[in-house]
């Protein structure tokens, strides 16, 4: 008989984001918000948020996009941020309370399965929160049901790993010094599950969305001030594929890997700080 926890939808993600990963992202909230600020601001603008909109923010994390969306919809609108991570939602709740935005709220829920009342929202939005569903088409069916007729979907997701310097550069610098790394299934839940735009279009089409558009968006992420290589190193090795790679190997191998990442960051230093490119898709559709 299959274990009940294992049988739950998105059980692996639930465990992951309520464990060390969720605690880490909650602890790094301010730094991560600054890092992703260029993408978040562009995504909110591109989503065409209107005054009075009712917005569902999928995978809202520590609440940065909830706050931005709440400002955009104004006092006549409403924003509900949903996430499966209790540590991150605790941070989001405190931030909302501190800003006194009655139109904003967060809910611990899985957007893939939560029984939202049909037609509740005008817009479903996500910044990097929709690539982790075990069954993505079914998840988007659930999200579409929560939208009013003609409601909009907008999300940001990552383009391929190899074309994303902020992921690939530190990883490529570290792995020659570490044990051979597993090659992930490109369609498995994870940051790059939606890297293929044709797969995204198929998933949304099966879920009943129309007018699907996938457009590229590029940004530069700043990991630290110019010259502050050690601070940037301490930060970057805590997130993304390089963090998982560095969990393997001997102490000597890890030291060699860190030296490789340090050199890569030094090569990415410039007058505006230590910057690495980020490559996204901005995806829009209509219910």
- Domains, the chain, with CATH or none: 4-286 (3.40.50.150)
Quote the pLDDT of residue 178. Answer: 96
pLDDT of residue 2: 34
Element (H, E) at 216: strand 210-224
Rounded Cα–Cα distance for residues 105 and 16 (Å): 23
Q: What is the pLDDT of residue 45?
A: 97
- Looking at residue 184, what is its pLDDT? 84
Q: What is the dihedral of CA 147, 149, 154, 155, to 10 degrees?
A: 40
Note if the pTM is more than 0.85.
Answer: yes
142-164: per-residue pLDDT in tens? 999 999 999 999 999 999 999 99
Q: What is the pLDDT of residue 1?
A: 30
**Greatest CA separation for the chain:** 59
Q: Which two tokens stand for residue 89?
A: 């939602």
pLDDT for the residue numbered 265: 98
Residue 9: its pLDDT value, please? 74
Q: 127-162 burial, b for 16+ CB within 10 Å, e for fewer? A: bbbbbbbeebebbbebbbbbbeeebbbbbbbbbebe
DSSP 189: S
Question: Which residues does the chain have with pLDDT short of 70?
Answer: 1-7
Positive or negative: CA dihedral 41, 282, 279, 113: positive
CB 120 within 8 A of CB 143: no
- Of the candidates 90, 78, 242, 268, the residue with the CA atom closest to the CA atom of residue 174: 242
Closest CA to 128 of 173, 88, 172, 175: 88
- Which pLDDT belongs to residue 7? 56
Helix 229-236 vs helix 251-267: crossing angle, to nearest 10: 120
């Amino acid at each position: 008989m299959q274990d009940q926890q294992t049988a739950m939808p998105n059980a692996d993600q639930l465990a992951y984001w309520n464990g060390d990963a969720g605690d880490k992202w909650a602890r790094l909230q301010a730094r991560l918000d600054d890092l992703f600020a260029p993408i978040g601001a562009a995504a909110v603008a591109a989503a065409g948020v209107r005054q009075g909109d009712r917005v569902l923010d999928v995978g809202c994390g520590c609440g940065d996009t909830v706050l931005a969306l709440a400002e955009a919809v104004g006092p006549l609108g409403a924003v509900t941020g949903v996430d499966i991570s209790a540590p991150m939602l605790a941070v989001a709740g405190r931030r909302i309370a501190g800003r006194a935005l009655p139109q904003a709220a967060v809910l611990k829920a899985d957007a893939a399965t939560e029984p939202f009342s049909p037609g509740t929202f005008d817009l479903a939005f996500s910044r990097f929160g929709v690539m982790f569903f075990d069954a993505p088409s079914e998840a988007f069916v659930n999200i579409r049901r929560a939208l009013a007729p003609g409601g909009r979907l907008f999300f940001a997701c990552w383009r391929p790993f190899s074309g994303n310097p902020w992921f690939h550069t530190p990883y490529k610098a570290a792995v020659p010094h570490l044990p051979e790394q597993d090659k992930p299934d490109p369609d498995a839940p994870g940051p790059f599950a939606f890297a293929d735009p044709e797969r995204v279009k198929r998933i949304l089409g099966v879920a009943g969305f129309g007018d699907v558009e996938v457009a590229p968006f590029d940004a530069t992420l700043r990991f630290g001030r110019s010259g502050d290589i050690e601070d940037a190193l301490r930060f970057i090795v805590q997130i993304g594929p390089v963090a998982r790679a560095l969990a393997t190997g001997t102490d000597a191998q890890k030291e060699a890997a860190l030296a490789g990442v340090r050199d890569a960051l030094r090569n990415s230093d410039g007058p505006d700080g230590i910057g690495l490119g980020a490559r996204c898709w901005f995806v829009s559709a209509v219910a």
